[in-house]
Amino acid sequence: MHRVSLTINGIDLVLETGRMAKQANGAVFATYGGGAVLATACCGSEPVVGLDYVPLQVEYNEKYYAAGKIPGGFLKREGRPKDREILVCRLIDRPMRPLFSKRFGRDIQVVPTVIGTDNINVPDVIAMNAASAAVTISDIPFDGPIGAVRVGHVDGELVINPTYEQLEHSALDIIVAGTQDGITMVEGGAEQVSEDLLIEAIETARPTIVELCRIQVELRLAVGKEKLPLPQSPDAFAPEQEIRAYAFPKLEEACFVKGKMERAAAIKAVKNEAKEKFAEAIGEDGGKAFSALFEDLEQEIVRASILGKKVRTDGRGPEDIRPISSEVSVLDRTHGSALFTRGETQALAVVTLGTKRDAQIIDNIEEDGTEKFLLHYNFPPFSVGETGRMGTGRREIGHGHLAHRSLEAVLPESASFPYTLRVVSEILESNGSSSMATVCGGSLSLMDAGVPITKPVAGIAMGLVAEGEEYVVLSDILGEEDHLGDMDFKVAGTDDGITAFQMDIKIKNISPDVMRRALEQARRGRLHILEAMAGAIQTPRGELSRYAPRIVSFSVDPEKIGVLIGPGGKTIKSISEKHDVQINIENDGSVTVYCKDADDAEGAKGSLLKLLEEPEVGRTYDAVVRRIVDFGAFVEYLPGREGLVHISKMAPHRVEKVTDMLQMNQEVPVRIIEIDKMGRVNLSLIYEDREGGEQGGRERRDDRPERSHHGRGPRRDDRDERPGRDRRD
């Protein structure tokens, strides 16, 4: 057993090997505070010939026992990966994948498993370092290691690996990963922070990342295995020079045909023409080498044009942004909708407003709760003119999460806007940065729905082409520029600052100067897009769609919650049925009323608040007759509260029978005339006298207060009115 350690933010990160999972190609047990991750790395026994990609699988998983919990739901065991686990898989995969050789050709599987957590330190960065260390000490060829840290901005200070508690008060939450040579990945969210603060955070992370790489190299030198050999490079493609000479000028023209589909067709035509002409030289075994040559030629042509002529494949300059069009209210029955188109990328964003009961239930090792803002990103195959399987993959989850972070910073507080929000982005066309189109469309649709966001949000994808000291930063990149370039760099935010950030670098190093240049260019592009979006809608609508549910919220004394609910829930059920609403009451006294009609919601609120009213003599109410007795009627003047209307208080004239005036469940106006010492309430009917004035009931013969007589029979002077009995005098 061997271990190395590094102190980060006052806590030791310990990497240990030789005690667990010894049959894996590489295994590292990492601890940080009370968090523990076991990461393993394995590879296939034989290479697969002809692969042109790295067959890497990262399977990050969290065990509930790590937090002393049993999984919720019907099946009491861990099942399919949760979105959070998939997002961490992507965090680990993206900085590591470029460091594996395609020539290795064997399946590679990295499995970081969270087996302990203290709910203080976030386990994802522990897993990233453990995964890198497991591969580094294994026999799998790897041009690493990588180090990873989280950076927060708490109380005006940048903090490495902040705790959960610190993150709650942090204006910044980014993960930075890199090698000893430089930064290779950044991802995170922010509360409209400046470009300067983001650069400072990345530079602050750099020294710790270098140290993390150093201790992994130390561990490898102590116990690392000898690396497996890479298969020999294939023999040179014999007809390469002839094909190059023939195809290069034709391909140079085809690469700059306007339109994605037209350009692809032109390139394919040149490729087929060359393949037919050199069919004999290519032979049966040269098909893959021929395709690889054409991809290299396309990359060479496109990059040379960008670096030398500053001209891109669609004719734009480096900072030019494709034409933008924005529409809102494109769907009649939805609560909010928008269609955002930028060049050949198009997103249809739709907002649905729901109640608290529509919130997403969160059940993971860290917390139990609900999420009231959902963003779902769909990328159907027709968006790129292809056929394929429909469904949600890791890419969709990752892009949706980035857009979610981008918009979350501008949402209203739940107290002022207590809706559950769901944004769905349907990508209808794609040629570069559909996730950023989702941000733009989502912002527009939220405003169309009347959600009071603090600022509109736009996103832009940036690229980079670099050769030596020369480089060009590209704004609003196309799909092919992402594929052929050296960086995919997405920035979303308002005109005040950045709300989300994602950067993947394909080269070993990028200088802070290049990053500053890219961020400043992205800021100008973001402002241009925000200006274009403002042509469709500038601020949130003043009212919600007539199809959206209405929500009324207020607070009451927590000690009076029982009054609102009533015995067995009778009172709250009665109000819900009367006004056709849903009512939710929290233990802290927060009351939320949901329904389709605003008047019903206000009516239900009024009924609930009336329950908390203290009855006062002289106050009037609309009551309902609940019981009829010989001497009067008991009426419900407030939900769950009853009082007596004596027969003598029903009219200015003598009433022989109560049923001559009242019937069961009849609604009648009443006034409180007395509250006795025991709190019993006596009321009178309200009627209009002959002059049209409002009167109470037949007045007493003297000014003495009325005695309460609930259930005790009539007063002595009224006994003559009871049928079947004679007066005694």
Query: Where does the pLDDT of residue 331 fall: very low under 50, low under 70, confident under 90, or very high at 90 and above?
Result: very high
Domain residue spans in the chain? 2-223, 240-309, 324-533, 550-611, 620-721
pLDDT at 281: 85
Separation of alpha carbons 515 and 500, rounded Å: 16
pLDDT at 724: 40
pLDDT digits (tens, 9 = 90+) for 158-205: 999 999 999 999 999 999 999 999 899 999 999 999 999 999 999 999
Q: Are 385 and 428 in contact (CB under 8 A)?
A: no
Q: Is 505 exposed, middle or buried (0-12, 13-18, 19+ CB in 10 A)?
A: buried
Query: Where does the pLDDT of residue 50 fall: very low under 50, low under 70, confident under 90, or very high at 90 and above?
Result: confident
CATH number of 2-223: 3.30.230.70
What is the arithmetic mean of pLDDT over 292-317?
Answer: 92
Query: Where does the pLDDT of residue 266 fall: very low under 50, low under 70, confident under 90, or very high at 90 and above?
Result: very high
pLDDT at 678: 84
Q: Between 727 and 14, where is the model more confident?
A: 14
Separation of alpha carbons 653 and 644, rounded Å: 18
pLDDT at 92: 97
Phi-psi region of 119 (alpha: psi -120 to 50; beta: other; left: phi over 0): left
pLDDT at 694: 56
The CATH class that applies to domain 240-309 reads mainly alpha
The CATH class that applies to domain 324-533 reads alpha beta
pLDDT of 506 higher than 80: yes
pLDDT digits (tens, 9 = 90+) for 602-628: 888 888 887 787 788 888 888 999 999
pLDDT at 370: 86
620-721 falls under which CATH superfamily? Answer: Nucleic acid-binding proteins (2.40.50.140)
CA 105 to chain CA centroid, Å, is 37
What is the arithmetic mean of pLDDT over 285-290?
Answer: 82
pLDDT digits (tens, 9 = 90+) for 422-473: 999 999 999 988 999 999 999 999 999 999 999 999 999 999 999 888 999 9
Fold match flag (324-533 vs 620-721): no
pLDDT digits (tens, 9 = 90+) for 372-383: 999 999 999 999
pLDDT at 688: 61
What is the arithmetic mean of pLDDT over 379-395?
Answer: 91
Most confident of the ranges 238-242, 279-283, 528-532, 549-553: 528-532
What is the arithmetic mean of pLDDT over 127-155?
Answer: 96
pLDDT of 718 higher than 50: no
Mean pLDDT score across all residues of the chain: 89
pLDDT of 729 higher than 70: no
What is the arithmetic mean of pLDDT over 146-162?
Answer: 96
pLDDT at 695: 57
pLDDT of 284 higher than 90: no
Separation of alpha carbons 313 and 254, rounded Å: 9
pLDDT at 199: 94
pLDDT digits (tens, 9 = 90+) for 508-562: 778 888 889 999 999 999 999 999 999 999 999 999 998 888 888 888 888 888 8
Q: Is the peptide bond before 318 cis (omega within 30 degrees of 0)?
A: no
pLDDT of 153 higher than 80: yes
- Continuous segment of H or E residues that includes residue 112: strand 108-116
* Per-residue tokens: 288: 């893959």
pLDDT at 726: 39
CA 183 to chain CA centroid, Å, is 27
Measured in degrees and rounded to the nearest 5, phi and psi for residue 639 equal -55, 120
Nearest one of 501, 500, 461, 467 to 481, comparing CA atoms: 461
Would you identify the CATH topology of the domain 550-611? Ribosomal Protein S8; Chain: A, domain 1 (3.30.1370)
- Continuous segment of H or E residues that includes residue 160: strand 157-160
pLDDT at 256: 93
Q: Are 407 and 446 in contact (CB under 8 A)?
A: yes
